[in-house]
Each structure stands twice: as structure tokens, then as C-alpha cells.
Amino acid sequence: MAKPLPPLKRLHHCFEIDETSPSKLRWKNATAHAVKNGDVAGRKNSGGYWEVSLDAVRYKVHRIIYYMQTGEDPIDFDIDHRFGDLNDNANVRKVTKSQNLANSKPRKNCSSKYKGVYKSRNTWCVEIQVRGKRIYVGRFRCEKEAALAYNKAAIENFGEFAWINDLQESVDSDQDLEVQVSAP
């Protein structure tokens, strides 16, 4: 659970949302000697998220912007970067933890560049996690077919919150993606 944000009136006094700012937030009434009115509010942390310090407490910028845009304190919810871009703090939405995980990027250092796909015994396997349970989707000869199968399962299970693998070179849409490789 996230820490409570300062009162909305205080946030509107200190900050203004600005699309031209890298963090999408600027100081309106700076509270520290090191910053001036109009300066970019915040800096990136080691995880790539923009954070800002206000009254000696660090807050995530995307949470502040959501609160300032909607007037709704997101204390009991995650705030999701709708398109997975941590620099796009103005394009955020309130989500559950499960919805936020569904929209997360693929992990790095895996056998596949696609989410939900991994290599096993010279085939590409697909798994998806739904409500904390792993669901085996199938085995495929081609990595892109596997990624397409993941996309289909993600859309069926997560709808608008699904992270969709970007398949730059399209797979023939007439191929039967349900055809699975027999297990050895």
C-alpha cells in the first residue's frame, strides 16, 4: 500500500501539471532553496520512476498527478502507466494490483523477448498468471506464434489491462495457433 499523499490543496499550491516537463510536473511555489518556480518537479529513482520530495517526504510523481487530475486520493489502489512508459506520468489510471501486474512489461534476462513466452526443449512455451495462478497455454514451434497465443490469452483474461507483445513482423493470421507441439 502506498503512503498517503499531502492534501490536494497543498499539491495544487506547490505544483502544476505541465506536458512539457519531463516528469509532467513543475514547481508552482517551490518549497526548497535548491529549486525555483517553473523548475521540473522530481527526479528519476533507481527503478525509473519519477519522485518528488515535499516536506522531506518522497512521493511518486504519477500518484500526485493522478490525485491532482481526478481529486481522488489513490491510497488503496495502484496507479498504472497506461502504456508502460514511466515517463508518461500524465497518462495514468487507477488499477488493482492484479490489473497493474497484467499490464507490466516482460521481464528481462529471459529466454524470450516476449511476455509469457519461454524456451523449453527446443519449443516455445506459453504461460499466463491469472489471479495468482499460472495457466499453461501451450507449446509452439515459433516464438512469434507463442507470443501471439500469449496476447490472445492476455486479452481474454485481462481485457484493456493486458500487456500485448509487439510483433513487428506479423504472423500469418490464417495460421492455426491452437496447433501444439506434442510433448516429448
CA 18, chain centre distance (Å): 21
- pLDDT tens, 4-30? 999 999 999 999 999 999 999 999 998
CATH number assigned to the domain covering 97-184: 3.30.730.10
- pLDDT tens, 38-92? 999 999 999 899 999 998 999 999 999 999 999 999 888 889 888 778 889 988 9
pTM of the entire structure? 0.67
Q: Which three cell numbers stand for residue 43?
A: 527526479
Measured in degrees and rounded to the nearest 5, phi and psi for residue 117 equal -115, 135
Q: Which residue has 525555483 as its cell numbers?
A: 36
Nearest residue to 73 (alpha-carbon basis) of 26, 30, 17, 9: 9
CATH number assigned to the domain covering 8-95: 3.90.75.20
Instruction: Tell me the C-alpha distance between 52 and 167, whole Å.
Output: 36
3-state secondary structure at position 123? strand
Q: Which residue has 527526479 as its cell numbers?
A: 43
Domain map (residue ranges) of the chain: 8-95, 97-184
